[in-house]
Amino acid sequence: MHNIGRKFLWILIVTGLMVSFQNCGRGFRSLESSSNSAQCLAKLRADAPSLNFSATDLNCADFNAYACERRIFSPDAVDMTESLKECTSDNQICVDVEVRQFNTSAAANTGGLPDGAFAAGGEFNHEEIHCYHRMIYHGTSLFEGSGDSLDASLAAAMAACEKAVSK
H-run or E-run covering 57: helix 55-58
Q: How many domains does the chain have?
A: 1
Residue 155 falls inside a structural domain: yes
Residue 11 falls inside a structural domain: no
> Domain span at residue 96?
54-107+116-167
Residue 160 falls inside a structural domain: yes
pTM above 0.75, yes or no: no
Cα distance between residue 46 and residue 40, in whole Å: 10
Residue 27 falls inside a structural domain: no
Residue 82 falls inside a structural domain: yes
- pLDDT, tens digit, for every residue of 46-103? 676 666 666 677 888 999 999 999 999 999 999 999 999 999 999 999 999 999 999 9
Residue 39 falls inside a structural domain: no
- What are φ and ψ of residue 6, in 5° steps? -65, -40
